[in-house]
Amino acid sequence: MKAIFVTYNQAYYDDITAILNANGVKGYTEWDEIKGHGSVKGEPHLGSHAWPTLNNAIISFVEDDRVEGILKNLREKDEKAPELGLRAFVWGIEQMI
């Protein structure tokens, strides 16, 4: 079991959830309207007058064999829309109830 944590420009919510759905992900937890600043080429998403955009984040716990497909689709989306500010992180889950 793996956790996938995805942050992205909130305008792309439908695209991100479509990727999860296409990969058989049914359950996730979402955070709306979070602030952040990209570490590579990203502009600040601070919800302010100067930087009005905001981010969302989703975490989902998936079977190991789904991870590569999800990451591949997210990477493709990120390459087509760099303004998305997409980042995805994966880590192992030891136990779940």
Domains observed in the chain: 2-92 (3.30.70.120)
Q: Residue 1's pLDDT band (boundaries 50, 70, 90)?
A: very high
- Decide which of 88 and 42 is more confident: 88
pLDDT for residue 63 is more than 90: yes
pLDDT for residue 38 is more than 80: no
Ramachandran angles phi, psi of 69, nearest 5°: -65, -40
Q: Radius of gyration of the chain from Cα atoms?
A: 14
Q: Does the pTM of the predicted model rise above 0.85?
A: yes
H or E stretch at 82: none
Q: What is the pLDDT of residue 10?
A: 92
Cβ(53)–Cβ(7) below 8 Å = no
